Structure formats: structure tokens, C-alpha cells
Amino acid sequence: MKNKEKYIDIFVKSLAIDKKKFSEKLKYNDIPEWDSINHMTLMSGLEEGFNITMESDDIIDFSSFKKGIQILKKYKIN
Amino acid sequence: MNAEKNIKLWSTLGMRATFGLIALELAKKNPELIITTSDVSTSAGLDRFKKQHPDQYIDVGIAEQNLIGVSAGLSSEGFKVISTTFSPFQTLRCCEQIKVNLGYMKHKVCMVGLASGLVLGNLGFTHCSIEDIGSLRSIPNITIIVPSDPYELFKVLSEAINYRESVYIRLTAGSNSKIINKKDYDFKIGKAVEILPGKDVAIIGCGNILSNCLDAAKILKQKNIDCSVINMHTIKPIDNEKIKNISKDYSLALTVEEHNIIGGLGSSVSEIFSDQGSNCKLIRIGAEDFYSTGGSYDYLKNIYGLSTEKIVEKILSNFKQNEK
Amino acid sequence: MKIVKLKNFAKQVRKNIIYTAYKAGAKSAHIGGALSIADLVAVLYSDIIKIKKSNKIDENRDRFILSKGHACLALYSALVEKKLLKKKDLETFESDGSKLLGHPIINKIDGIEFSTGSLGMGLSLGVGVALAAKKKKKNYKVFVIIGDGECNEGSIWETILSASHFKLDNMTIIVDRNNYQQTGKNSDIMDLKNLKSKFASFGCDTFEINGHDLKKIYSVLSKKNTKKKPKVIVANTIKGKGFKLFENNNNWHHSVITKSIYKEILREI
């Protein structure tokens, strides 16, 4: 995923966590910072960062960092 | 949007994030929808709504009296308005504006009260709500609905937006709210939903606290007490028929609510029980008219007898096996 | 704008006010506060507000909101002159089941936009209506009269903040500065000091005029609003204006016009 660096950067910034706490195995609700409200901030950050608008279904499916990579592919971000 | 597919994840989104998502869906189908708020965009999951529909989003700042006035003015000119802020400010701060503009003049506004009940216990009772139903109940022409989980919230909002009068939608529980409705079902404003049948005791609940009612029923089943759990999502207009039948068919009924036992679900059910001259015993579980010290959601539920164990205890100490 | 037409309209409004109050008899009426806005209402309804009798609510009418609802005798009187109400409707004022009560009851066909009178609420409705016009790209105007006593309410200032923040230049707010309120002088009860500077500091385009000078009222109301700013006119008025007995006599905030008083004051018109 060539945009991986940017993807991780948006993750870290939106969830306001430091890099050490980040891992590619991160799942929704694994850490307190990734709760439902910050989930929306993350989605908004990804939409702005990659200039896309995600469907509600995808936002609900977006349950982990890895799953996010598949979902972003749907919006031609890889 | 096919919501049934992932009810589980949907519910873990919590009421407020779900509200943000639903608002976006509603905005697509209702160009005349406007969301008004008092500076709570993020905490109502409305960040994306604000960015995608800036002209359908109005923030009046931390000024809830103006929130209702402006919402009613917009509604009088044909817009469909959903107002939202934290429940104590959405209801008590602007109570007279709600009476005059929505109750008396009948302008229709859907009011979404965020984080009602006890979920913000660690902020103290300035931010908890155990009085909102009681105060609005006495104002004519205002429907009051307490969605049991995010999935039901989706159904409530879709119906409320076109309902005949103003609707106060009371959101309870936090980020990981419990799943009450595991599969799709018919939702109708004013119509109770029996989510668990049972012939010995009727547990009538509203809001996400219904998950404790379901857990309590499971425990009591092992003790050979068969409990029915009823989701009374609409406090007003309440499902009279259902309550009349309960008052006839059961010897013991409970109401369970994150609200004062005065003025909310418990009072509403009692009123109908007394009209019926029923001899079914009714126990109202909830805040017993006092403000507790603050703390976590579970801490407060326990203090107010709303934990699963306390509900089980209450039924065990009041249900007489011989009357089976 | 013919000054004679305005003078007659204002005279007729005052006649209707005292006629209605007299007919109400022991039920009494808010007289002083209605008479203080008689000239403002006369100019608004004779030459400024686009509104006329019709059996269908006109989407493009200008909206007039009497936020200081207790001055409704002035509103009802003007609506009679514009044929939206009949003279005999005035005789039903405050009687059982009447559509004309001591505070306005929402009745858009007859020209009553909202049920106002709970002070500090009408202005907020006005912002909603003005916002709706902007969103629907309609160019109807919104006029709101608020009382000076009403400016004790915090909700007024919440609303003014939003009117200027939302750049509602389709809104004209008139403050009836008659210096009195329910139980006495503003300065004794809760001194408002300089209202014009308060509204200016809240971002409004403000004016201050003699609220009984028909020419001045007409010129400030017909002047085009400054772009992106709500217009606020502080109208210095006399409570009970038009009848010596009532002028600056706060007993007539809310009282009864007996037959003898009615005869006496009729001579002054």
C-alpha cells in the first residue's frame, strides 16, 4: 500500500495517539482512544486526507487498521 | 443502507456516533432537513455531516433557549429540524421555549438529547439526566422516545422525522452500548416490543438499561422464574393496551429506567395500573429522587438498583412462588 | 409616503386601541405599551410591510413578530386597518374562546405570525424565520418589535449574537424604548443604560430615533439594510402616548378604561 505512510499518519493524528502506541494490528475499541466518537474523527480525517466520501456501510465495517486498507481500496486508495 | 447485516458492529458504535451516521443518511433523502446544535458537533458524531452538508447544519453556540427558538422558526417555514445537545441542556435549560414553541404552537422539531441517564456520571449530575422525561411529559404535543440501542435509534429517527408532532429522542449509554435487538423487527412509535416472553414477572424497561433486564431474566430463568422483558421505547404516547394486559396477566411487574422513579416510565405505568384498579404489584426501579455522588456508569447503576444483580434481588424478594 | 396617510393610520390605530380596551371592560388590557408603539406599527403596516388580506397564507409576505406580545392591541388595531381583522373582532378581545387574547395567538391567515408574549422568545423565532428566507433564497423581510423591559431577558442577547453572527440583513429589530416595564422604571428595576451601544457592540447596524416622529420612522425603516448586518432601531417612545391621562403613567401598564375615562380621552384624538 503505497499510501501506507500517510494512512498511518492520519490514524495517529485522528486518534491522538503517539507512534509507539500504534500497531498495524490495531482494532476498533482495542484502545480507549479508538472509541466511537474518535472513530468518526478518524473517518473524517481519512476522507479529508484522501479526498474521498465513504459510505455509511464502510464506516461501520471499518473495524481495524487492516480492514481499513481493503475498504480504502474500494475508493482507489492503495 | 443495509443495517441488519452488521448489527453487532453497529451497536458498538454507540448512540452518538450512530446518530451522526443516520443524520447523513436522512440528509440524502430529505433536502429540507436541517440540524441545529449548541456547539456539540463532534460529540454528536456530526463532524462529517457538517463537512458534507454545511448549509444544512446550524450551530447557535452554547445558547439552548435560542436553539429551540431558531429551530421552531425554521420549522414554521417548512424545514424538517433535528436539534441536538446534551440532554440536560436540550430539555431543562430551554423548557419554556419547548412548551411555548413546540407544545403550545405545535411547531415540529425532533430534539435529540445526548448522553441522557447516568452515562456521564464521572462528570457529576450537572451532566446526567434523571429529570428530562418527567419535565417534558407534562407538556402537551411532545412525543418522548427512549431508543434501546443504536439499531433502534436508526428506526426511531427515520420515523420521528416525519411524525405528526415534536419528538424528544433520549439517547442513553456510551460508546460500547449493549445490543438489545439482535435481529430486525417492526418498530412503531407508541407500540411496545416484547423482546423476551415470560409468564411469571413482567420487566418493563426503556433505553439501553434493557440489557441488564435481559441478563437478570436469564439468571432468574435458572431459578425457575420466567420473566418477560418489554421494551417500552415510547414513554409518551405510551402503549396503554400492553400495560393494561400486563396489569391483568401478571402478579408482579417492574419498571426499569435511568431516570427518577418520579415522573418517568415508572410513573407512566403506575398511572395506568391505578386506572385499571389492578392488583398486580408494581415496583419502580430507578433513581429514588436523590442525587448520588458521581462516578462510573456501573457505579451509578449499582447505587440506583439498576445493576443486573440488584434487579434479580428485587424480583427474588418480591416474587411469591406459590402464586405461580 | 404621504405624511397625512401615516397620521391618519396612527390616529385610527390609537382609536382602535382604546375602543378595544374599553370594550374589554373589567377584563382590562395592556394600554400603555400598546400606545407607545402605535406610531411604529402605523408606519410599518401602512407603508413598509408587504401584507394583505387573503384566504391563503402568502409565502412572500413580510413577517412581523410582536415579541413584546402584551402590546397586542396595537397589532390587532393595525390588522383591522389592513382588513385582515374586522372591527367587531376587537369587541371579542379576551372574551371566552376568542381568537384575540391578551397576548397574540398564532393565526397566520389573520396576520398573527406567532403566539408571543412570553418575553424574550419572539426575537429567536424571528432569527429562525430570517434564516429560512436566506436558505430558500426568498427576499421577504422579518420585522420584530421587542420591549426595553424585555431586554432584561438573557435570551434576547443570545438571539442578537446569532442574528449578527448569521449576518441576517433581512431582519429589522425595533426596540420600544419607553423606559418603563411592569412595575416601574427600567432604571429603577434593572437599568439598561445605553441600549444602542449594546446592540452596536453585538454587531448590529444601529439607529436611535424619536419613536413618535412618523417621518423619521418611515425614513429609517425604508432605508435599505446594510449588507450582512441586522438593523436595530432604538425608538425612544412615551408609554401611553396620545392621551395625557396615560402618558408616562405606569398605572396604565395594564388597567381598565371605564365609560367616563373613554368619553374624556376620545376628545383628545
Q: What is the CATH number of the domain that holds B10?
A: 3.40.50.970
Residue of A nearest to B46 (CA): A40
C81-117 pLDDT, tens digit each: 999 999 999 999 999 999 999 999 999 999 999 999 9
**Angle value at C-alpha C152, between C147 and C156, nearest 5 degrees:** 75
Statement to judge: residues B209 and B310 lie in one domain: yes
| CA B54 to the chain's CA centroid | 28
| Assigned domain for B122 exists | yes
Q: How many domains is chain B built from?
A: 2
Chain B / chain C CB contacts < 8 angstroms: 86
CB atoms within 10 A of CB C261: 18
> Does B37 fall in a domain?
yes
Using CA atoms, how far residue C3 sits from C13, C39, C48, in Å, is 15, 12, 14
Contact criterion met (CB < 8 Å) for C126 and B96: no
For residue A35, count other CB atoms closer than 10 A to its CB.
19
Cβ distance B21 to A28 less than 8 Å, yes or no, reads no
| B with A: touching (≥3 Cβ pairs within 8 Å) | yes
DSSP state of B309: H
Angle among Cα B152, B159, B260 to the nearest 5 degrees reads: 55
B184: pLDDT confidence band, cut at 50, 70 and 90? confident
Residue among C153, C155, C159, C202 with most chain B CBs within 10 A, to mutate: C155
Give the integer Cα–Cα distance in Å for C45 and A70. Answer: 65
- CA C121 to chain B, closest CA, distance in angstroms equals 7
A58 touches chain B (CB under 8 A): no
Q: Is the pLDDT of residue B196 over 70?
A: yes
Min Cα separation C237/chain B (Å): 28
pLDDT at B86 over 90: yes
What is chain C's Cα-based Rg?
Answer: 17
Same domain assignment for residues B144 and B275: no
Q: Which of residues 6-65 of B touch C (CB under 8 A)?
A: 34, 55, 58, 60-61, 63, 65
* Residue B165, pLDDT above cutoff 90: yes
Q: Helices C154-165 and C122-136 sit at what angle, rounded to 10 degrees?
A: 20
pLDDT of B175 over the 90 cut:
no
Could you tell me the pLDDT band of residue B219, with boundaries at 50, 70 and 90?
Answer: very high
* Domain match, B219 and B145 both: no
The Cα–Cα gap between B8 and A63 comes to 11
Residues 6+ apart with CB under 8 A from B309: none
Residue B300 in any domain: the answer is: yes
- Chain-chain contact of B68 with C124 (C-beta, under 8 angstroms): yes
Looking up residue B278, the CATH number of its domain turns out to be: 3.40.50.920
Residue B184 within a domain: no
Residues B211 and B148 in one domain: no
Q: Which residue of A has its CA nearest to B13?
A: A36
Angstroms from B31 CA to nearest CA on chain C: 11
Give per-residue pLDDT as tens, B30-49.
Answer: 999 999 999 998 888 898 99
Neighbours of chain A (3+ CB pairs under 8 A): B
Give residue for cell 456520571: B121
Residues B83 and B129 in one domain: yes
Report the half-sphere exposure of C30 (CA within 13 A, side-chain side): 24
Quick one: closest CA in B to C127, which residue? B70
What does the pLDDT look like over B245-267, one tens digit per residue? Answer: 999 999 999 999 999 999 999 99
Q: Which is higher by pLDDT, C16 or B2?
A: C16
The answer to whether position B182 is within a domain reads no
Mean pLDDT by 10 residues, chain C (269 residues): 93 97 93 97 96 93 97 98 97 96 97 97 98 97 97 98 98 96 92 97 98 98 97 97 94 94 92
B32: burial class by Cβ within 10 Å (0-12, 13-18, 19+)? middle
Cβ of C128 and B73 within 8 Å?
Answer: yes
Calpha distance C148→C177 (Å, rounded): 5
* C115 contact residues in B (CB cutoff 8 A): 100, 104-105
Q: Residues C263, C18: contact at Cβ < 8 Å? A: no
Q: Are residues B163 and B297 in the same domain?
A: no
Please determine, for the modelled complex, whether the ipTM score is greater than 0.90.
yes
- Domain spans in chain A, listed from the N-terminal domain onward: 3-11+26-74
Q: Tell me which chains share at least 3 CB pairs under 8 Å with chain B.
A: A, C
- Best CA proximity match to C41, nearest among C227, C186, C176: C176
Mutate to test the interface with B, among C115, C121, C171 (most CBs of B within 10 A): C121
Range of the domain at B268: 193-323
Distance separating alpha carbons of residues C162 and C149, to the nearest angstrom: 20
Binned average pLDDT, 10 residues per bin, chain A of 78 residues: 89 91 90 88 93 90 93 93
In the numeric block, the cell 418603563 is attached to: C180
Rounded to the nearest angstrom, the minimum Cα separation between B210 and chain C is 38
Chain B residue closest to A55 (CA)? Answer: B1
> Do B240 and B292 fall into the same domain?
yes
Across the interface, whether the CB atoms of B175 and A43 are under 8 A apart is answered no
Do B29 and B165 share a domain, yes or no? yes
Task: Find the CB nearest B105 among C115, C132, C133.
Answer: C115
Q: Given a cut of 90, is residue B79 above it in pLDDT?
A: yes
CB-CB neighbors (< 8 A) of B176 in chain A: 29, 35-36
- CB proximity under 8 Å: B 88-117 to C: 96-97, 100-101, 104-105
Choose which CATH entry (3.30.70.590, 3.40.640.10, 1.10.1200.10, 1.20.1260.10) describes domain A3-11+26-74.
1.10.1200.10
Enumerate the domain spans of chain C: 2-268
Q: Are B150 and B272 members of one domain?
A: no
Is the pLDDT reported for residue B4 higher than 60? Answer: no
Collect all residues with Cβ–Cβ distance below 8 Å to C252 and sequence separation of at least 6. Answer: C31, C32, C239, C240, C245, C246
Residue B124 in this model has a pLDDT that exceeds 70: yes
Assess if residue B181 is contained within a domain.
Answer: no
Q: Are residues B161 and B223 in the same domain?
A: no
Encode C208-224: b = buried (16+ Cβ within 10 Å), e = exposed: bbebbebebbbebbeee
What is the rounded (10 degree) CA torsion for B194, B199, B205, B209? -100
Say yes or no: B119 contacts chain C, CB-CB below 8 A. no
Shared domain check, B64 and B31: yes
Q: Which of residues 51-110 of C touch B (CB under 8 A)?
A: 106
Domain C2-268 CATH (choose: 3.30.365.10, 3.30.420.40, 3.40.50.970, 2.60.40.420): 3.40.50.970
The length of chain A is 78
Same domain, B16 and B157: yes
Residues 118 to 137 of C: which have CB under 8 A from any B CB? 118, 120-121, 123-133, 135-136
| Chain B residues inside the 8 Å CB shell of A60 | 3, 6, 9-10, 13, 21
